[in-house]
Structure 1
Amino acid sequence: MRARRTLSLTAGLAALTAVPLLTPATTATASPACPAVTAVQTPAQAAQAAYDRLTTAQRIGQLFMVGGPATGLGATTESMITRYHVGNVVLTGRATTGAAPVRVVTSRAGTLATSAATGDVPLLVAADQEGGSVQVLQGTGFSRMPTALTQGTWSDATLSSNAGLWGRQVMRSGTNVDLAPVMDTVSKSFAASNQPIGRYQREYGYTTSVVADKGTAFLSAMRASGLAMTAKHFPGLGRVTGNTDVTAGVTDTVTTRTSADVAPFKAAVASGARVLMLSSAYYRKIDAARPAVFSPTVIGGMVRTDLRFTGIVMSDDLGNAYQVHNWTPAARAVDFFSAGGDMLLTVTPTVVPAMVSAVSARAASDATFRATVKTAVLRVLTVKAELGLLAPRLPVTGYFGSLTTASLRRWLDLPTAGAFDSQTVRVLQYRLSTTVDGVFGARTVAALQSYLGISRDGASGWNARTVAQLQRYLNTQL
């Protein structure tokens, strides 16, 4: 299960849990005994164990993150997971109808990580949740987030308080990676000309010190919810004019390997960022021959040596970005991993087969590349282990017994050894924002079904469809 998170439900919740217990309205039926407890593994050990049981195709699949609409992944994206073993998903577009429909999407994504598809290794499910015009998850259950530039004017305490709430909202939607914060620095005089960042006020401020301070405040508070946070777009897009998504030849002629613009990224790494997204711009004074996303100087030199970053190096979009349109999909994949990258992001799923095929072929014929791929896979699996994703998952049986009770109580930040009693019901009702009376009846079931994104069926207690959806959801949380 995922490492326990510090999700305080406020003093009001503490008061609720202190109320004397009442006779529970519903008693959980005992389930089969829990599996024997094994020795605790370090993340590196858990990653190695997972690596050893995966097939070659499943290992390579861990290196890809494929796009799928936040309103429903769709058949093409799902087939990339089931047929090509892709191990990670990024929610694209906008989901504006609230958290419950997103929970349906993320729970569905979790069911695709089967033994045949991913070797039972769960997916990283990511979303761009920055604020302003870049907020994929919206609607009831998601606060509207202002631009990073506005966030940067707040005190650290105010920013941390708000980001903590946003993080819990994102995490409880079943999303476990936030592709934020933006750690690029744009000067005030240049912001209007800077298409990728300044135009949309995605920067936290106009100086590296403000960006480092406010960006890490956001990062730390969001991370406390259990999210893996992503510092982007290394080594910075604050000194270019063009947007690499829609323009080719975007080049930074100013930034050097030791520029102050790198400092916010160093601060983000020190604050616990476990993903670092690379820019696809050229940096003339660092590596004029290749975009950063294909540069061993940037990845091996700046990221691994200068920043001493041990997490996942992720590409910016390599599926649809016009900056890389002169490279075939196959060449983009091989060049990215050859340079030392760990996870290739493509919002366009249709390029995945060519990319996977190219990486597989190169790995089969080139021992050096094969070793590079192995290192990348282990980095991905290690971060997944740190998030608790390599622990045993709750079986989706539709049966509400002791395993489900323990998982539900853990999600509610209660001791797992307890029963499904009135205290558990009260905390669940509080979490669901329904009447808190300790009685598990039709009203609470209806609230739970709405929260899980399934239709209300009038049940007054547990039934198989509700339990199964709860189990799917809990697998995205613990």
Structure 2
Amino acid sequence: MKRSLAVLTVAVLLASGACSTEETPSPSSASPSPSSAAPPSASASASTSPSPAPDCVTRTLEGLDLAERAGQLLMIGVAVNAPSGAGDTLRRYHVGGAFLRGRSTHTAAALKSDIAGLQKRAELPMLVAVDQEGGSVQTLKGPDFPRLPSAHRLGSGSPAALRDTTRESARRLTGIGVNLNLAPVADTVPTSIGADNPPIGAFRREFGSDPVRVAAAIRTVVPASQDAGVLTTLKHFPGLGRVRVNTDVSTGATDNTATVDDPYLAPFKAGIDAGSAAVMISSARYPKIDPGAVAAFSKPIITGLLREKIGFEGLVISDDLGAARAVTGVPPAQRATRFVAAGGDMVLTIVPSDAAPMAGALIAKAESDQSFRSRVDDAARHVLQTKEKAGLLRCD
């Protein structure tokens, strides 16, 4: 970074007037009697009282230049069994997060060493994420990471079993340096669609077919994971449970039912109320909310619905904007700027080579558009706040 946090702290203290030049009377000097001493005026008190030092997130943000702030808005996919291969890219573009893509049966010790090595090459500690849902979507397996039941199975069981399974899985993740799980799935798949819902129902990734039941499961999962040290990501907002197309492999995924008052938003609201650190935005279309764009590029969905109507103040992360077929009609550079302009904070791409065009586009647009520059700053703050929540920022 361009400036150390220690230098920033000294500068803030000097600017706030913490080092006063006013002379203090000695104990032996005469002092006025209580009856004749006038109380200090409010203006005098304000002029001599030091301003509070900026919080850790603010101090960190102020130490980042534009390129570094833009880099914090990227989460790049790295091979789970060989993450160091992307280390140069992560450092060159000041990347804020690494997503461990693929599947692994490596030991916890080996994975911990790899992740620690990756973190050492980062200017700021990174959010390190996995897809550790359970069932068919489980990045880490093997003797140190037992197979997890699917969400559908866990959702039909007891809350205690769901809580204990989630907590134990999170403890294993935090033990190797993973601090963000791209889970739980908050989508509801109606029984009328079931397995005909390719992205969720076909793999039993949903906790149930009733949004009230799904919401109850989400309320259990979020604190169980986060209290064990792994932040959660509610996905895929505003819901993929009613689409008939998988956004990863096809275009045209559309939910023609969803509205801003959709009952299927209840699980997302429950997770937000439970304190989930992040929400992931889908790449499907929701014409009754925004007929003009997929959710990842939709200001009415991200800013209007998620931020303003529901009130989410945490990290907004995209679904994959790298290899996903749903967005291949848009160049990678524009995927990044459109997501951030819509209100998103962190662009996820599983394609490491996307880092260069995405970072370059974010910087260029911020340099030419002051309102977008403000949006970049706001998004970077959300990323840093999430890192602070994960225990990654140190400003002592």
Query: TM class, shorter-chain normalised?
Result: 0.7 to 0.9
CA drift of 1:224 comes to 1.1
- Matched residues, percent identical? 41
Task: Please show how residues 52-451 of structure 1 align to structure 2 within 5 Å.
Answer: 52-75=62-85, 77-113=86-122, 118=123, 121-391=124-394
* Aligned counterpart, 2:26: none
CA drift of 1:160 comes to 0.8
Q: Deviations over 1:265-293 (max 9, x none)?
A: 00000111111000010101110110001
- In the alignment, the residues of structure 2 paired with residue 98 and residue 241 of structure 1 have an alpha-carbon distance, to the nearest angstrom, of 37
Choose 80-89 or 61-70, whichever is displaced more.
Answer: 80-89
Question: Do the aligned residues in 2 keep the contact of 1:46 with 1:382 (CA within 8 Å)?
Answer: no
- Higher relative contact order by CA 8 Å / sep ≥ 6: 1 or 2? 1
Unaligned runs of 5+ in 1: 1-38, 394-478
- In the alignment, the residues of structure 1 paired with residue 209 and residue 175 of structure 2 have an alpha-carbon distance, to the nearest angstrom, of 33
CA drift of 1:392 comes to 5.8
- In the alignment, the residues of structure 2 paired with residue 82 and residue 209 of structure 1 have an alpha-carbon distance, to the nearest angstrom, of 43
- In the alignment, the residues of structure 1 paired with residue 387 and residue 277 of structure 2 have an alpha-carbon distance, to the nearest angstrom, of 10
Question: Do the aligned residues in 2 keep the contact of 1:43 with 1:386 (CA within 8 Å)?
Answer: no
Give the TM-score normalised by the residue count of structure 2.
0.85
Moved over 2 A (4+): none
- In the alignment, the residues of structure 1 paired with residue 255 and residue 182 of structure 2 have an alpha-carbon distance, to the nearest angstrom, of 23
CA drift of 1:215 comes to 2.2
Question: Do the aligned residues in 2 keep the contact of 1:95 with 1:138 (CA within 8 Å)?
Answer: yes
- In the alignment, the residues of structure 1 paired with residue 171 and residue 260 of structure 2 have an alpha-carbon distance, to the nearest angstrom, of 36
- In the alignment, the residues of structure 2 paired with residue 192 and residue 277 of structure 1 have an alpha-carbon distance, to the nearest angstrom, of 22
CA drift of 1:216 comes to 2.2
**Is the partner of 1:277 in helix, strand or coil?**
strand
Question: Do the aligned residues in 2 keep the contact of 1:281 with 1:292 (CA within 8 Å)?
Answer: yes
Unaligned runs of 5+ in 2: 1-12, 14-51
- In the alignment, the residues of structure 2 paired with residue 82 and residue 152 of structure 1 have an alpha-carbon distance, to the nearest angstrom, of 40
Q: Deviations over 1:91-150 (max 9, x none)?
A: 00011123122112211111111xxxx3xx200000001000101011122121010000
Question: Do the aligned residues in 2 keep the contact of 1:194 with 1:239 (CA within 8 Å)?
Answer: yes
Change (3 A) 1:206 1:161: same
**Is the partner of 1:137 in helix, strand or coil?**
coil
* Aligned counterpart, 1:406: none
Choose 249-258 or 78-87, whichever is displaced more.
Answer: 78-87
- In the alignment, the residues of structure 2 paired with residue 154 and residue 164 of structure 1 have an alpha-carbon distance, to the nearest angstrom, of 16
Cα RMSD for the two superposed structures: 1.6
- In the alignment, the residues of structure 1 paired with residue 347 and residue 318 of structure 2 have an alpha-carbon distance, to the nearest angstrom, of 5
- In the alignment, the residues of structure 2 paired with residue 190 and residue 236 of structure 1 have an alpha-carbon distance, to the nearest angstrom, of 14
**Is the partner of 2:280 in helix, strand or coil?**
strand
* Aligned counterpart, 1:49: 59
Question: Do the aligned residues in 2 keep the contact of 1:43 with 1:385 (CA within 8 Å)?
Answer: no
Which amino acid in 1 is paired with 2:69?
Answer: R
- In the alignment, the residues of structure 2 paired with residue 287 and residue 277 of structure 1 have an alpha-carbon distance, to the nearest angstrom, of 17
Which amino acid in 1 is paired with 2:291?
Answer: A
- In the alignment, the residues of structure 1 paired with residue 73 and residue 109 of structure 2 have an alpha-carbon distance, to the nearest angstrom, of 29
CA drift of 1:43 comes to 12
Which amino acid in 1 is paired with 2:192?
Answer: S
Give the TM-score normalised by the residue count of structure 1.
0.71
- In the alignment, the residues of structure 2 paired with residue 297 and residue 220 of structure 1 have an alpha-carbon distance, to the nearest angstrom, of 29
